Chain A
Amino acid sequence: MAGIVGYGAYIPRKRITAQEIARQWGKDPATIEQGLLLKEKSVPGLDEDTVTIAVAAGRVALQRAGIDPQKVGALYIGSESHPYAVKPSGTIVVEALGIGPRVHVADMEFACKAGTEAMFVALGLVESGRVEYAMGIGADTSQGAPNDALEFSASAGGAAYLFGRADPLAEVLETFSYTTDTPDFWRREGRFYPRHGGRFTGEPAYFKHVLAATRGILEKSGLKPQDFAFAVFHMPNGKFPLAAGKTLGFTKRQLETGWLVPTMGNTYSGSSPTGLAAVLDVAAAGDLILITSFGSGAGSDSFVLKATPRLAERRRLGATVRAMLDGKRRYLTYGQYASYREKIILND
């Protein structure tokens, strides 16, 4: 059965606290910390982007898989912050990972769902036998407009998944996708920052799709919430994934390992994939894992995975997500943050 043969994640080491952003705009930090359950978020350096995050995560995925990169026949990167408007991020990433040139590469986009979209396609190609190994990556360095609610959450990071049929660390038992036309969040070509429908992003967008995809995969697989050791839902803020999990009948205990958003922020295409990486960092053989992404526009992808005995020995070959979140960090002032995010514009 096809599954994940290697995985890796990367989170930049710079942070800004919700308190510091609130101070800049004269907002009450308590409403952010307690209302949205956001404490701090990762910030990319001037030299970090979707490509560098994808390479860092992809290298660890290859390391954990222990396979020859030349055997990877397809690589897809989902992001809403590809560094070029025209020129695929994937071309740079395969070159850095030592994959190809005999490889199929594409960049994908679907707001925050692009990462699981890349994983879905990579898995399908492996299952069909078209390629031996395929990598799906979700990575982003997302931007929120200054003084917008999104500024408290939009952060940077990502995860890479290598799929194959031999010796998986986790088998993929089932997938399910749910997509409709819902204009909850968008960015028109040439605009700096995205726009969103405020409260409209909740019920008709996030909850409708996350709940429908999760209910769909439970029905298709014949599993119940209590069968799972872990569940990960896309994390636009701290509150939404916990509320979705509760509605579906999952407990806080099943959710907390993959619930990284309070100190990571929303890494968009990297969000639920990085949550899954944190789960794989600790899952035991036989554990069932559920992941449901969400991308505005709107849609959700769900996967049911089962950890194998091989996971414990292979995960040691890379850093854990928790180590990256709780390890060495550098805290920025709003001024430093504005310059790192190129919100301070200079003449040529």
Chain B
Amino acid sequence: MPSPRYWREVPARFRLEAVRCRGCGKVVYPARRVCPGCRGTDLEPLALSRSGTVVTSTVIHVAPAEFAMETPYAVAIVETPEGARLMAQVVDCELPEVKPGLKVNLEFRLIRQEGHGGILCYGHKAVPEA
């Protein structure tokens, strides 16, 4: 049952809480206790901007069952101005416009449902800037 894991990830999923390494400056998302860059443990909390740029993307045509009604849809790696990278679905867009360099905002959306009777899992999706 994935609910406890989803609940633990709420600060990262809902508020984009990351950490910055005071040793080498690397921004790590989601937050970790050890810097993957320099293995330092002196990390300060940092909330990511709700905007970014598409680094790379793909279009999903054959999706897991719970996303079947949404196909075809785009998924991208988005880099925020702080230098953190996260994977997000890109919505409210035309699929051909989702290319490296596309400026996006990160909006709070329903990500998935744990079946018909389970909990609703929220997080962020990317939407092209107006």
Q: Which residues of A contact B (CB under 8 A)?
A: 13-14, 45-49, 51-52, 55-56, 59, 83-84, 92, 95-96, 98, 319, 323, 327-328, 330, 339, 346, 348
B-side contacts of A84, CB under 8 Å: 120
A98 B15 Cβ-Cβ under 8 A: yes
Bound Cα distance from A13 to B91, whole angstroms: 10
Instruction: List 10 additional A-B contacts (Cβ < 8 Å) besides A83-B120, A95-B15, A96-B14.
Output: A45-B91, A46-B70, A47-B125, A51-B122, A55-B108, A59-B108, A96-B122, A98-B15, A328-B92, A348-B115
Q: How far is the CA of A145 from the CA of B111 in the complex (A)?
A: 26
Measured CB to CB, the closest approach of chain B to A214, in angstroms, equals 35
Across the interface, B108 reaches (CB within 8 A) one of A45, A56, A319, A327, namely: A56
Q: A45 to chain B: which residues have CB within 8 Å?
A: 91-92, 109
| A52 and B122 contact, CB distance less than 8 A | yes
Check if B110 sits within 8 Å of A46, measured CB to CB: yes
The interface residues of chain A lying within 8 Å CB-to-CB of B120 are 49, 51, 83-84
Q: Which 4 pairs between the two chains have the least Cβ-Cβ distance?
A: A47-B109, A55-B108, A96-B14, A47-B110
Q: List residues of B (115-130) whose CB comes within 8 Å of A's CBs.
A: 115-116, 120, 122, 125, 130
Interface string of B59-86 (1 = CB under 8 A from A): 0000000001110000000000000000
How many CB-defined contacts (below 8 Å) exist between A and B? 54
Shortest CB–CB separation between residue A284 and chain B, in angstroms? 26
**Which residue in chain B gives the minimum CB-CB distance to A96?**
B14
Closest to A49 in B: B110
11 A-B pairs with CB atoms under 8 Å apart are A45-B91, A45-B92, A47-B110, A47-B111, A49-B110, A51-B122, A55-B108, A95-B15, A96-B15, A346-B69, A348-B116
Instruction: Count residues on chain B whose CB falls below 8 Å from chain A CBs.
Output: 20
Q: How far is the CB of A92 from chain B (nearest CB, A)?
A: 6
Q: Are B15 and A56 in contact (CB under 8 A)?
A: no
Please, how many angstroms separate the alpha-carbon atoms of A323 and B89 in the complex?
24
Distance from B79 Cβ to chain A, minimum over Cβ atoms (Å): 21
Residue in A closest to B109 when the chains form the complex, CB atoms:
A47
- In the bound complex, residues from chain A placing their C-beta under 8 Å from that of B130 are 319, 323, 327-328
Q: How far is the CA of A285 from the CA of B122 in the complex (A)?
A: 39
A96 CA / B50 CA spacing, docked (Å): 12
Q: Which chain A residue shows the least CB distance to B13?
A: A96
- Specify which chain A residues have a CB less than 8 angstroms from the CB of B15 in the assembled complex: 95-96, 98
List residues of chain B with CB within 8 A of the CB of A95: 10, 14-15
A46 shortest CB reach to chain B, Å: 6
Q: How far is the CB of B122 from chain A (nearest CB, A)?
A: 6
Selected from A14, A48, A328, A348, the residue in CB contact (under 8 A) with B110 is: A48
> Known: A96-B14, A96-B15, A348-B116. Contact between A48 and B69, CB under 8 A?
no
Nearest Cβ distance between residue A62 and chain B, in whole angstroms?
Answer: 12
**Chain A positions within 8 Å of B10 at CB level:** 95
B residues 1-24 near A (Cβ < 8 Å) are 10, 14-15
Complex: A14 Cα to B120 Cα, angstroms:
22
Closest to A319 in B: B130
Which residues of chain B are near A98, meaning CB under 8 Å? Answer: 15
A52 neighbours in B (Cβ, 8 Å): 107-110, 122
Most chain-B Cβ atoms within 10 A of its Cβ — which of A83, A319, A327?
A83
* Cα-based distance from A346 to B120 in the complex (angstroms): 19
Q: Name the residue of chain A whose CB is nearest to the CB of B65.
A: A348
Q: A48-B110, A51-B122 are in contact. Are A339 and B116 (CB under 8 A)?
A: no
Q: How far is the CB of A13 from chain B (nearest CB, A)?
A: 5
- Specify which chain A residues have a CB less than 8 angstroms from the CB of B92 in the assembled complex: 13-14, 45, 328, 330
CA distance A48 to B89 in the complex (A): 14
Q: Are B116 and A47 in touch, CB under 8 angstroms?
A: no
Q: Which residues of B contact A348 (CB under 8 A)?
A: 115-116
Closest residue of chain A to B15 (Cβ to Cβ) is: A98
Q: Which A residues are in CB contact (< 8 Å) with B122?
A: 51-52, 92, 96
**Nearest Cβ in chain B — how far from A87, in angstroms?**
8
A339, closest chain B residue (CB):
B69
Docked CA distance A46–B113 (Å)? 11
